[in-house]
Amino acid sequence: MNPFDLSSQQLQGAKFLSERRVGNVIGGVSGPALSGRWLPVTDPATEMVVAEAPDSDAADIARAVASAQRAFDSHVWRGLRPADREKLLFRLSELIERHADELSALETLQSGKLQGIARAIDVQAGAEFVRYMAGWATKLEGQTLDNSIPIPGPQWVTYTRREPVGVVGAIVPWNFPLAIALWKIAPALAAGCTVVLKPSEDTPLTALRLAHLALEAGIPEGVLNVVCGRGATAGAALIAHPGVRKLSFTGSTAVGKVVGHAAVENMARFTLELGGKSPAVVMEDADPSQVAQGIATGIFFHQGQVCTASSRLLVHRSLYRRVLDELAGIAQGMRIGSGFDAATQFGPLTSKAHFARVMDFIASAKAEGATLVAGGERVHDAGCFVQPTIFADTTAQMRVVREEVFGPVLAVAPFDDVEDAIAAANDTPYGLAASLWTQSLSHAHRIVPRLQAGVVWVNAHNVLDAGLPLGGIKQSGTGRDLGRAAVEGFTELKSVCMAV
Ligand code: NDP
3-state SS class at 164: strand
Q: Quote the Cα angle for 377-253-65, to 5°.
A: 120
Q: Report the pLDDT averaged over residues 298-317.
A: 97
Could you tell me the distance, in angstroms and rounded to a whole number, from the CA of residue 251 to the centre of ligand 1?
A: 4
The minimum-distance atom of ligand 1 relative to the CA of 477 is 41
Q: In this predicted structure, what is the pLDDT of residue 434?
A: 98
- pLDDT, one tens digit per residue, over 216-271 is 999 999 999 999 999 999 999 999 999 999 999 999 999 999 999 999 999 999 99
Could you tell me the distance, in angstroms and rounded to a whole number, from the CA of residue 178 to the centre of ligand 1?
A: 15
pLDDT at residue 161 is higher than 60? yes
Alpha-carbon radius of gyration of the chain = 24
Residue nearest to atom 46 of ligand 1 (CA): 200
pLDDT at residue 9 is higher than 80? no
3-state SS class at 435: strand
3-state SS class at 287: coil
Residue from 71, 182, 164 nearest 122 by CA: 182
Residue nearest to atom 10 of ligand 1 (CA): 231
How would you class 467 by CB atoms within 10 Å of its CB: exposed for 0-12, middle for 13-18, buried for 19 or more? Answer: exposed
The minimum-distance atom of ligand 1 relative to the CA of 476 is 41
Contacts of 462 (CB under 8 A, 6+ apart): 297, 298, 301, 306, 308, 309, 310, 433
Residue nearest to atom 44 of ligand 1 (CA): 251
- pLDDT, one tens digit per residue, over 55-101 is 999 999 999 999 999 999 999 999 999 999 999 999 999 999 999 99
pLDDT band at 105 (very low <50, low <70, confident <90, very high): very high
pTM over 0.85: yes
Residue nearest to atom 25 of ligand 1 (CA): 173
Could you tell me the distance, in angstroms and rounded to a whole number, from the CA of residue 268 to the centre of ligand 1?
A: 20
Give, for ligand 1, the residue of 184, 255, 277, 301 to mutate: max count of ligand atoms closer than 8 Å to Cβ: 255
Q: Quote the Cα angle for 483-282-387, to 5°.
A: 85
- Bridge partners (DSSP) of residue 434 are 456
Residue 167 · residue 243 · CB < 8 Å: yes
% helix / strand / coil in the chain, to the nearest 5? 40, 20, 35
Distance CA 235, CA 256 (A): 11
- pLDDT, one tens digit per residue, over 417-441 is 999 999 999 999 999 999 999 999 9
pLDDT at residue 315 is higher than 50? yes
Catalogue all structural domains in the chain, each as residue range(s) with its CATH number: 4-274+477-496 (3.40.605.10), 279-466 (3.40.309.10)
Pocket of ligand 1 (CB under 6 A): 171-175, 198, 200-202, 230-232, 235-236, 239, 250-252, 255, 258, 273-275, 307, 404, 406
Residue nearest to atom 9 of ligand 1 (CA): 200
Q: In this predicted structure, what is the pLDDT of residue 3?
A: 34
pLDDT at residue 16 is higher than 80? no
Could you tell me the distance, in angstroms and rounded to a whole number, from the CA of residue 106 to the centre of ligand 1?
A: 20
Could you tell me the distance, in angstroms and rounded to a whole number, from the CA of residue 255 to the centre of ligand 1?
A: 6
Give, for ligand 1, the residue of 60, 121, 171 to mutate: max count of ligand atoms closer than 8 Å to Cβ: 171
Known catalytic residues are: 273, 307
Q: In this predicted structure, what is the pLDDT of residue 296?
A: 98
Task: State the average pLDDT for the chain.
Answer: 95
Looking only at the bridges linking them, the beta strands covering 167-171 and 455-458 are unpaired
